Amino acid sequence: MQEAEENWKGKPVQTAPKKRKNILRELLKAGKPTLGTHVHVTWPGMVEVIGYSGGMDYIEFSGEYAPYDLYALENFGRAIDLFPHMSSMIKIDQEPRTYLAGRAIGSGIQNLLFADIRSVEDAREAVAAARAETPRTKGYVGAAMRRDVGYLLTCGSQIYVDQLQDGVVALMIEKDSAVENLEAILSVPGVDMVQFGPADYSMSIGIPGQWDHPRIREAEKYVIATALKMGIAPRVELGDMRDADRYRKMGVKHFCVGWDIDIIHKYCKDQGAVFVEVFGKERGMAKGRRTLKRAELGYAAARKRKEIVK
């Protein structure tokens, strides 16, 4: 099929898009470090602001936590396409994972992070939700007239199949059963990346919120070491890249840093503290100042315990 034809004005128009680039996949193939960031909003303007920074390889939309609709996903995908140096990811709820994966891919979000993996079967289902339904790839995704294929230009084509194969499949290892069956889960063909989730894991073993507990730390180290041994990329979420050194020494080189809501929350707290310091007496906020100080100390302690990080 030709990639371009002339329209009625004699001008060239694209009639069959080339296979979409996937920056995250390209960097993984090359064995290079990667950096992403999280957003809870699908506003295209936020995508553009991040893209103009030039600092991120991809943006993860935290769809497991945030509200969105299918129109928003498409516009998120369009904004990502403005930046050749950047791709995207979405964090997928455990159900209905196959439906959500298909609609995200169709919107142009190429890489998928599946939450709440508990078993080998869950891992297989996640991979299948991201791959084409062919004898070779054995996925669940069929032909679909969506924006990732120009709606109708490469629908059901080999380009489409190859494009789906390029999508990065990442799994959250955050349940006790997933840690216990980790090697079997990581043996599932098509798993590209894993991330340990201390919050869910602490709940699943009966010590919720104790993220620095020795059992949590031990499980995290085990997940990272096992992933590296089996050739799967471990990813770590951080509030700040300055905290990455401990993980770098463990062999981790894939990070996703910061959450839009956390950044805004911290900024507002900091500015509120400065305002009270300057105008507290004039506003009669002496008591409020003490309350705010206690809140600040509580926030700092929570950050130290990583309770603010999801």
The tally of domains found in the chain comes to 1
pLDDT of residue 12: 66
**Owning domain of residue 156:** 4-259
Query: Is residue 52 assigned to a domain?
Result: yes
Query: Is residue 90 assigned to a domain?
Result: yes
Q: How far apart are CA 211 and CA 200, in angstroms?
A: 10
pLDDT > 70? residue 131: yes
- Per-residue pLDDT, averaged over 115-142, amounts to 94
pLDDT of residue 17: 62
pLDDT of residue 16: 58
Q: How far apart are CA 59 and CA 42, in angstroms?
A: 11
pLDDT of residue 173: 97
pLDDT > 60? residue 305: no
pLDDT > 50? residue 1: no
Query: Is residue 92 assigned to a domain?
Result: yes
- Per-residue pLDDT, averaged over 199-221, amounts to 94
CATH for 217: 3.20.20.60
pLDDT > 50? residue 215: yes
Query: Is residue 77 assigned to a domain?
Result: yes
Query: Is residue 48 assigned to a domain?
Result: yes
- Per-residue pLDDT, averaged over 157-161, amounts to 87
pLDDT > 70? residue 8: no
Query: Is residue 16 assigned to a domain?
Result: yes
Query: Is residue 265 assigned to a domain?
Result: no
Which residues have CB under 8 Å from 168's CB, separation 6+?
22, 24, 25, 28, 89, 110, 111, 112, 192, 193
Please give the sequence-ordered ranges of beta strands (E in DSSP) within the chain, or none if there are none: 4-6, 12-14, 34-39, 58-61, 87-92, 111-114, 169-173, 193-196, 233-238, 254-259
pLDDT of residue 154: 79
Q: How far apart are CA 225 and CA 235, in angstroms?
A: 12
pLDDT > 90? residue 31: yes
pLDDT of residue 10: 62
pLDDT of residue 278: 85
- Cβ–Cβ under 8 Å, residues 189 and 212: no
Which residue reads 């103009």 in tokens? 52
Whole-number percent of the chain with pLDDT over 90: 71
Instruction: Please state, rounded to an integer, the average pLDDT across all residues of the chain.
Output: 89
Task: Choose between 308 and 253: higher pLDDT.
Answer: 253
Compute how many other C-beta atoms are within 10 angstroms of the C-beta atom of residue 270: 12
pLDDT of residue 308: 43
pLDDT of residue 294: 55
- Cβ–Cβ under 8 Å, residues 213 and 207: yes
- Per-residue pLDDT, averaged over 210-219, amounts to 94
- Per-residue pLDDT, averaged over 223-229, amounts to 98
